[in-house]
Amino acid sequence: MGFFGNLIGSADNSVLQNGILGRGEITNLEMSGMTLQTGNGLVERKCTITANVFLDNTPMFVATIVQRVQEIVIPQLSSGSAVVAVRVDPADHSKVAIDFSSEVPEVTLARTTDNAHSAAYLLANGKPIKVVLVGNQPLGKKNADGVEMYALQLTAYEGVDTPYQLTVGNPVPASALPLLFPGSKLHARLGDDPNAVVVDWAAGSAA
């Protein structure tokens, strides 16, 4: 992409055509004063977008994307929870473009190298506690073993000094789906951090 393309915030066509499809979770959006309208098309504004990028079996990385986007979607993209499809240059992960024409893919997370903070380690060594499931939402990701990841809103109520609420990303096997409803009481394991909680699905429901 040439100087003029950079100046007006054009997406890099080579990245859009040849890049790896990934998942971008937008954490920040800053608008510039530069806008462009072609014919009777919608007004587009050049923005600087920060996103957490997830590719299959690749550690998450942060990307800064300078790209024109339609003004009507800016409120959605700046909501704090926007997820978009992105294309990433396979040879240079600093080159990322939002691909508005593709569906957001489900990705498989890279296996963690920090075994002391892995779900398996917490299940084997964490402190037994009990939690109540307040809500849940699929994250569009699988862990390295192919198990679907969910955002779980929990209230830790037993085995802790004071009950508290937290939100964690946990793998939820298909066998545990019958337990995935608001009010479900579950066994869990707690690590050194109050937010280091893993639900012990194999233990079944808690009393």
Domains of the chain (ranges; CATH) run 3-108 (no CATH), 115-203 (2.40.50)
Give me the mean pLDDT over the 179-187 stretch. 97
What pLDDT, in 10s, does the model give residues 86-127?
999 999 999 999 999 999 999 999 988 777 678 889 999 999
With a cut of 50, say whether residue 3 has pLDDT above it: no
36-40, 140-144, 175-179: least confident range: 36-40
Q: What's the chain's average pLDDT?
A: 93
Q: What is the pLDDT of residue 71?
A: 94
Please list, in sequence order, all residues whose beta carbon lies within 8 angstroms of the beta carbon of residue 65, skipping any fewer than 6 positions away.
Answer: 24, 48, 49, 50, 51, 86, 96, 97, 98
In degrees and rounded to multiples of 5, residue 26 shows phi and psi of -75, 125
Higher-confidence residue: 25 or 40? 25
- Phi, psi (rounded to 5 degrees) for 96: -130, 140
Cα distances from 199 to residues 20, 83, 105, 118, in angstroms, run 33, 26, 26, 13
For the stretch 37-53, pLDDT in tens is 887 888 999 999 999 99
CA distance 201 to 160: 19
Q: What is the C-alpha separation between 12 and 6, in angstroms, rounded?
A: 9
Token pair belonging to 203: 């233990």
Report the distance separating Cα 166 and Cα 98, nearest Å: 31
Global pTM exceeds 0.85: no
Beta-sheet pairing, 61-70 with 44-54: antiparallel
Residues 117, 120, 126, 131, CA torsion sign? positive
